[in-house]
Structure 1
Amino acid sequence: METKRADTVAEPSRFPMREVVLFAAVLVAVLGVYAVMGSAYSTRMLVEAACYAILALGLTIQWGYAGQFNAGVMGFVALGGFCAMFFSIPVNPAFWETELPGELGRALLYMLGAALLVFGATRLDRLGVPKLLRTVIAVLLAVVLYLAVINVFRDVTGQIESRAGFIGGLGLPVGVGWVVGGALAGGVGYFIGRVCLGLRSDYLAIATLGIAEIIKAFLKNSDWLTRGTATVSPLPWPVPGPSELGFTLARALYLSITAVMIAVIFFLLSRAYHAPWGRMIRTIRDNEVSAAAMGKDINKRRLEIFVLGCILMGIGGAALASFNSIFDPQGYLPLNHTFLVLVMVILGGPGNNLGTIFGAVAVYIIWIMSAPMALFLMDMALTLGAGLGWETPTNLDSRALQARVFVIGLLITLVLRFAPKGLLPEKVKHHG
Structure 2
Amino acid sequence: MNTRRTDTVAAPRRFPLREVGLFLALLVAVLGVYAVMGGAYSTRMLVEASCYAILALGLTIQWGYAGQFNAGVMGFVALGGFCAMFFSIPVNHDFWGSELPGELGLVFVYMIAATLVVIGATRLDRLGVPRKLRTVIAVVLGVVLYLVVINALRGVTDQIESRAGFIGGLGLPVGVGWIVGGALAGVVGFFIGRVCLGLRSDYLAIATLGIAEIIKAFLKNSDWLTRGTATVSPLPWPVPGPEAVGFTLARALYLSVTAVMIAVIFFLLTRAYNAPWGRMIRAIRDNEISAAAMGKDINKRRLEIFVLGCILMGIGGAALGSFNSMFDPQGYLPLNHTFLVLVMVILGGPGNNLGTIFGAVAVYIIWIMSEPLALFLMELAVSFGEGAFGWVAPTNMDSRALQARVFVIGLLITLVLRFAPKGLLPEKVKHHG
Alignment of 1:100-111 (within 5 A): 100-111=100-111
1:80–1:118: structure 2 CA closer, same or farther, 3 Å change rule? same
| CA positional deviation for 1:12 | 4.2
1:33 alignment partner AA: V
| CA positional deviation for 1:313 | 0.1
1:11–1:292: structure 2 CA closer, same or farther, 3 Å change rule? farther
Corresponding position of 1:351: 351
Corresponding position of 1:72: 72
The 2-side partners of 1:393 and 1:78 are apart by 37
User: What do residues 59-114 of structure 1 show as CA deviations (whole Å, max 9, x unaligned)?
Assistant: 00000000000000000000000000000000000000000000100011111111
Corresponding position of 2:397: 396
SS in 2 for 1:28: helix
| CA positional deviation for 1:392 | 1.6
Corresponding position of 1:145: 145
User: What do residues 268-302 of structure 1 show as CA deviations (whole Å, max 9, x unaligned)?
Assistant: 00000000000000000000011000000000000
Q: Does 2:326 correspond to 1:323? A: no
Corresponding position of 1:408: 409
Q: Does 2:13 correspond to 1:13? A: yes
Using the size of structure 1 for normalisation, the TM-score is 0.97
SS in 2 for 1:403: helix
SS in 1 for 2:56: helix
User: What do residues 132-186 of structure 1 show as CA deviations (whole Å, max 9, x unaligned)?
Assistant: 1111111000011011111111000000000000000000000000000000000
The 2-side partners of 1:407 and 1:169 are apart by 40
| CA positional deviation for 1:121 | 1.0
The 2-side partners of 1:305 and 1:85 are apart by 27
Corresponding position of 1:94: 94
Corresponding position of 1:375: 375
Q: Does 2:147 correspond to 1:159? A: no
Corresponding position of 1:298: 298
4+ aligned runs moved over 4 Å, structure 1? 9-12
User: What do residues 302-326 of structure 1 show as CA deviations (whole Å, max 9, x unaligned)?
Assistant: 0000000000000000000000000
Unaligned ranges ≥5, structure 2: 1-8
Corresponding position of 1:199: 199
Corresponding position of 2:244: 244
1:386–1:328: structure 2 CA closer, same or farther, 3 Å change rule? same
Give percent identity, aligned residues only. 87
Corresponding position of 1:63: 63
The 1-side partners of 2:316 and 2:124 are apart by 42
The 1-side partners of 2:235 and 2:178 are apart by 12
User: What do residues 344-375 of structure 1 show as CA deviations (whole Å, max 9, x unaligned)?
Assistant: 00000000000000000000000000000000
Aligned length: 424
1:284 alignment partner AA: I
The 1-side partners of 2:239 and 2:299 are apart by 41
Q: Does 2:283 correspond to 1:286? A: no
Alignment of 1:113-192 (within 5 A): 113-192=113-192
The 2-side partners of 1:119 and 1:204 are apart by 25
- Considering only aligned residues, what root-mean-square deviation do their CA atoms show, in Å? 0.9
The 2-side partners of 1:349 and 1:11 are apart by 25
Corresponding position of 1:276: 276
1:49 alignment partner AA: A
The 1-side partners of 2:163 and 2:110 are apart by 22
Using the size of structure 2 for normalisation, the TM-score is 0.97
